[in-house]
């Protein structure tokens, strides 16, 4: 799957997250809440490295529901950062 | 011996030690257990050996509560073998937790434990002609069925249902017909239970009518009413010529707490392409030296700890083939997501390099809480024999719907937690489901998703040690009556989420022992 087709859906996902989590509609807040994320590299490319954090989110029920999908809070935040241009 | 009830002389009286009303799973099981004994047993069957439309129409009535897509008369079969003539054959016992009282559900629990019933489940497995008494996923895997092992967790336990092809009317016909102590009267409809004129606590006889005209009575020492979860209250309530409220109804409980197993298409999952999908398998098992096919279907159930922690009731979950979705009444228009991929989730999963398979749908069968307002009651309209028809007012509570939603959400979380992919809570036809992001939002949500019926009719003559809370006692005897017993799912005080037939057969086996060793021993 090419990068262009990957990123648009993730932007929609990120925007949906920010819609019901307006207090996180800030790049600074989001980076602060996803430890280990680098600002020098596109955040989506860093998702594979965050799999342990994502798994821990599910294990501790740090999850969110977006359009009915049950997602880890971390991956939702990464999608939100992606939607905000990172 | 088979007897044509239409040939019994009008106005005559047939006598027996035991009269069993109904030849479905419960009635046949009891008769089979007593075949060859010294007891003189009469089995009364409304129909004959094959479906007869006029007889089947005696089941006509109306669903007046929760919408049900089927007509009432098509949900059961009224001839020898009863509803086992068209059942799906799913066998799985209730779970131990299903017998326990739950502090967060009023009227929950049985008057005995799973361990008390287990010896009868073992015999029921033989009667139902399934394989070894095993229902764990490992058993299913050994037999070639498949399911993602990662879904087993502290929340869910994998179970393997066994699916029998046994039709009781065919399998046990010769056992009953050949038994010297059993007479099966066909074409014989019980229209009223008659209490003794001098003792309202004893049933003297049953009034039998035939569509051909002749009427007669059957007198017996004891009676078992085994006509299913709707006809049991119908017969009890209609037996009102001497007791206006109907038999067994002194505390207004007959017909109440009607329950089904609501089924809901609850989740859509995008699983890793390499995850094993739920695949059923048919295998040959040996029963009394004769190999016969038994299906193995992989399901998940909630574990006891998860039930208690989240204040849930039993639930059983299985993957469902999309082609089946329409067959059970859900259209593509109502649930388009089933047939569409989610670009967002594909994209999300693609970032970790995991290809996803086609969308998979999952269905949940729920337990509903005992609900006095959900009930079977007599209607004004009468059938061809002059017996009142019924209104079935099936109702779910809001808690039932909230529990369904929460169960679906636990499943979606487990899919992700196990690294299998992601799942979406998409309760059938329910648009607002996607707008619920937090627990608080559930409180304000309508939760008006589509609920299907499994046609499991239960709870209408519920079992409880106290006559104020149950129609029958722990031995299935009607509290108000010394010699009247109920067989079948009408007595279930709490239904669990398991298919009911195996429990019906286990209870009937237990009742047969009780009748032989206690009630009719003299």
- Which site among B342, B346, B347, B355 would you substitute to test the A interface, given the most A Cβ atoms closer than 10 Å to its Cβ? B347
Q: Which domain holds residue A19?
A: 3-83
Greater confidence (B329 vs B202) lies with B202
Contact: B347, A47; criterion CB under 8 Å? no
Which residues, in sequence order, are bridge partners of residue A65?
A: A70
- Nearest CB to B413 within list A51, A63, A66: A63
Q: How far is B422 from chain A (nearest CA, A)?
A: 7
How does pLDDT run across B295-315, given as a tens digit for each residue?
999 999 999 999 999 999 999
Q: How many CB pairs under 8 A join A and B?
A: 84
Which residues in B76-169 belong to E strands, given as ranges?
A: 90-91, 156-163
The distance from CA B323 to its chain's CA centroid, rounded to whole angstroms, is 25
Q: Which residue from B38, B77, B161 is spatially nearest to B521, judged by alpha carbons?
A: B38
The C-alpha of B90 sits at a distance from chain A's nearest C-alpha, in angstroms, of 31
Find, in chain A, the residue whose alpha carbon is nearest to that of B435: A67
**Is pLDDT at B332 greater than 90 in this prediction?**
no
Q: Which residues of A touch B422 (CB under 8 A)?
A: 69-71
Question: Could you tell me which chain B residue has the CA closest to the CA of A48?
Answer: B352
What span, in angstroms and rounded, lies between the C-alpha atoms of B7 and B187? 10
**How far apart are the two ends of chain A, measured CA to CA in Å?**
20
Looking at beta carbons, which residues of chain B come within 8 Å of A59? 417
- Using a 10 angstrom Cβ sphere, with 0-12 exposed, 13-18 middle and 19 or more buried, the burial of residue B198 is exposed
Report the distance separating Cα B206 and Cα B519, nearest Å.
19
**Predicted confidence band of residue A1 (pLDDT cuts 50, 70, 90):** very low
Strand ranges inside B148-188, DSSP E? 156-163, 182-186
Lookup result for tokens 């007595």: B491
B351 touches chain A (CB under 8 A): yes
- Band of pLDDT at residue B355, cut at 50, 70 and 90: low
| The pLDDT of residue A3 is above 50 | no
The fold of B1-102+110-129+166-260+373-396+455-522 is FAD/NAD(P)-binding domain (3.50.50)
The total of other beta-carbon atoms located within 10 Å of residue B337's CB is 16
Residues 6+ positions from B229 with CB-CB distance below 8 Å:
B258, B376, B456, B457, B458, B459, B460, B488, B489, B490
| CA separation for the pair B263, B400 (Å, rounded) | 12
Percent of chain B at pLDDT exceeding 70: 90
Contact A30, A84 (CB under 8 A): yes
What's the mean pLDDT in B421-439?
67
Q: Is B158 exposed, middle or buried (0-12, 13-18, 19+ CB in 10 A)?
A: buried
pLDDT of residue B429: 59
Q: Given a cut of 90, is residue B73 above it in pLDDT?
A: yes
Q: Is the pLDDT of residue B207 over 70?
A: yes
CA B100 to chain centre: 18
Whole-angstrom distance, CA of residue B414 vs CA of residue B151: 6
CB atoms within 10 A of CB B519: 18
Please count the structural domains in chain A: 1
pLDDT tens for residues B241-299?
999 999 999 999 999 999 999 998 888 888 877 777 667 778 887 766 778 889 999 99
- Tell me what pLDDT residue B404 has: 94
Please tell me the predicted confidence (pLDDT) of residue A70: 86
Interface of B with A in 278-297 (CB under 8 A): none
Q: Which residue of B has its CA nearest to A58?
A: B417
Q: Which residues are CB-contacts of A19 (< 8 A; sequence separation ≥ 6)?
A: none
Confidence bin at A59 (pLDDT 50/70/90): confident
Q: How high is the pLDDT of residue B283? A: 82
The domain spans of chain B are 1-102+110-129+166-260+373-396+455-522, 131-163+262-366+397-450
CB interface of B with A, residues 413-472, below 8 Å: 413, 415-417, 419, 422-426, 433-434, 436-438
CB contact under 8 A, B416 and A13: no
Q: In this complex, do B423 and A5 lie within 8 Å of one another by their Cβ atoms?
A: no
Between B324 and B130, residue with greater pLDDT: B130
* Angstrom distance (rounded) from CA B78 to CA B55: 7
Smallest Cβ distance to A64: which of B350, B415, B437? B437
Taking an 8 Å cut-off on Cβ atoms, the answer to whether A1 and B346 are in contact is yes
Are A70 and B345 in contact (CB < 8 Å)? no
The answer to whether the beta carbons of residues B396 and B451 sit under 8 Å apart is yes
Beta-bridged to residue B203, according to DSSP, are B195
Does the distance separating the beta carbons of B423 and A48 come in below 8 Å? Answer: no
d(CA B113, CA B349): 45
Contact residues for B411 (Cβ-Cβ < 8 A; gap 6+): B156, B266, B267, B300, B317, B362, B364, B423
Indicate yes or no: CB of A68 within 8 angstroms of CB of B419.
no
Contacts of B20 (CB under 8 A, 6+ apart): B27, B30, B31, B41, B42, B43, B44, B223, B224, B226, B487
Please tell me the distance in Å from B115's CA to the nearest CA on chain A: 34
8 A C-beta contact, residue B47 and residue B79? yes
User: What's the gap in Å between the CA of B276 and the closest CA on chain A?
Assistant: 20
CB within 8 Å: A69 and B423: yes
Inter-chain residue contact A65 with B423, CB threshold 8 Å: no
Q: What is the model's pLDDT at position A48?
A: 85
Integer Cα distance of A70 and B322 in angstroms: 21
Lowest mean pLDDT among A78-82, B355-359, B373-377, B480-484: B355-359
Interface test with B, best of A46, A70, A72 (most B CBs within 10 A): A70
pLDDT digits (tens, 9 = 90+) for B392-415: 999 999 999 999 999 998 999 899
B434/A70 CB distance under 8 A: no
Q: Which of B294, B295, B291 is nearest to B279 (CA)?
A: B295
Nearest Cα to B188, choosing from B169, B219, B215? B215
Contact state of B344 with A12 under an 8 Å Cβ cutoff? yes
| Per-residue DSSP letter, A65 | E
Could you tell me the maximum CA-CA distance found in chain A, to the nearest angstrom?
A: 33
Q: How far apart are CA B285 and CA B292, in angstroms?
A: 6
pLDDT at B329: 54
pLDDT at B428: 66
Computed over every residue of chain B, the mean pLDDT equals 91
* HSE-CB for B165 with a 13 A CA cutoff: 10
Query: Using the beta-carbon criterion (under 8 Å), do A7 and B347 form an inter-chain contact?
Result: yes
Taking an 8 Å cut-off on Cβ atoms, the answer to whether B347 and A64 are in contact is: no
CA distance B416 to chain A (A): 7
Enumerate residues 22 to 61 of chain A having a beta carbon within 8 A of any beta carbon in chain B: 44-45, 47-48, 51, 55, 58-59, 61
- Residues ≥6 apart with Cβ < 8 Å to B76: B59, B82, B83, B228, B230, B231, B455, B457
DSSP, residue by residue, B299-337: EEEE-HHHHHHHT---EEEEEE-HHHHHHTT--TTT-GG
């Amino acid at each position: 799957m090419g990068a262009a087709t990957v990123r648009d859906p993730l932007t929609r996902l990120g925007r949906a997250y920010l819609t019901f989590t307006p207090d996180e509609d800030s790049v600074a807040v989001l980076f602060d809440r996803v430890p280990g994320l680098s600002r020098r590299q596109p955040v989506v490319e860093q998702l594979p490295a965050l799999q342990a954090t994502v798994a821990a989110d599910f294990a501790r029920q740090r999850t969110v529901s977006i359009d009915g999908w049950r997602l880890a809070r971390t991956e939702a935040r990464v999608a939100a950062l992606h939607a905000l241009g990172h | 011996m088979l007897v044509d009830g239409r040939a019994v002389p009008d106005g005559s009286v047939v006598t027996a030690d035991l009269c069993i009303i109904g030849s479905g799973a419960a009635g046949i099981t009891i008769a089979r257990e007593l075949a060859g004994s010294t007891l003189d047993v009469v089995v009364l069957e409304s129909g004959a050996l094959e479906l007869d439309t006029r007889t089947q129409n005696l089941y006509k009535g109306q669903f007046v509560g929760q919408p049900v897509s089927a007509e009432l008369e098509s949900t059961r079969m009224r001839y020898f073998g009863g509803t086992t003539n068209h059942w799906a054959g799913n066998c799985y016992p209730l779970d131990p937790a299903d017998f326990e009282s739950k502090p967060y559900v009023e009227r929950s629990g049985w008057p005995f434990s799973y361990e008390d019933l287990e010896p009868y489940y073992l015999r029921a497995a033989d009667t139902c002609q399934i394989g070894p008494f095993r229902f764990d996923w490992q058993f299913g895997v050994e037999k070639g069925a498949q399911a993602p092992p990662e879904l087993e967790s502290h929340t869910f336990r994998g179970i393997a249902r066994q699916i029998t092809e046994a039709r009781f009317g065919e399998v046990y016909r010769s056992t009953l017909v050949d038994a010297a102590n059993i007479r099966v009267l066909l074409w014989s409809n019980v229209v009223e239970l008659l209490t003794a004129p001098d003792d309202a606590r004893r049933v003297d006889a049953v009034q039998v009518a035939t569509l051909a005209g002749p009427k007669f009575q059957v007198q017996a020492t004891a009676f078992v009413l085994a006509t299913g979860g709707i006809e049991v209250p119908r017969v009890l309530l209609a037996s009102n010529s001497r007791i206006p409220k109907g038999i067994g109804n002194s505390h207004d409980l007959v017909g109440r707490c009607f329950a089904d197993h609501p089924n809901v298409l609850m989740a859509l999952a995008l699983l890793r392409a390499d995850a094993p999908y739920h695949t059923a398998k048919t295998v040959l098992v040996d029963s009394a030296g004769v190999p016969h096919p038994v299906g193995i279907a992989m399901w998940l159930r909630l574990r006891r700890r998860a039930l208690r922690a989240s204040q849930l009731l039993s639930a059983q979950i299985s993957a469902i083939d999309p082609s089946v979705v329409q067959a059970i009444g859900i259209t593509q228009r109502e649930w388009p997501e089933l047939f569409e991929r989610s670009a967002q989730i594909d994209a999300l999963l693609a970032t970790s390099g995991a290809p996803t398979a086609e969308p998979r749908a999952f269905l949940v069968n729920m337990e509903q809480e005992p609900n006095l307002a959900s009930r079977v009651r007599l209607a004004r309209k009468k059938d061809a024999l002059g017996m009142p028809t019924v209104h079935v007012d099936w109702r779910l509570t809001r808690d039932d719907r909230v529990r369904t939603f929460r169960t679906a959400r636990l499943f979606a979380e487990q899919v992700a937690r196990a690294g299998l992919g992601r799942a979406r809570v998409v309760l059938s036809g329910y648009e607002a489901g996607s707008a619920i992001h937090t627990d608080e939002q559930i409180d304000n949500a309508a939760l008006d998703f589509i609920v299907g019926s499994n046609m499991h009719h239960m709870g209408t003559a519920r079992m409880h040690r106290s006559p104020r809370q149950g129609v029958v006692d722990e031995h299935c005897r009607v509290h108000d009556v010394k010699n009247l017993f109920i067989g079948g799912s009408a007595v279930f005080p709490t239904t669990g989420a398991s298919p009911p037939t195996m429990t019906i057969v286990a209870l009937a086996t237990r009742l047969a022992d009780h009748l032989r060793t206690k009630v009719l021993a003299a």
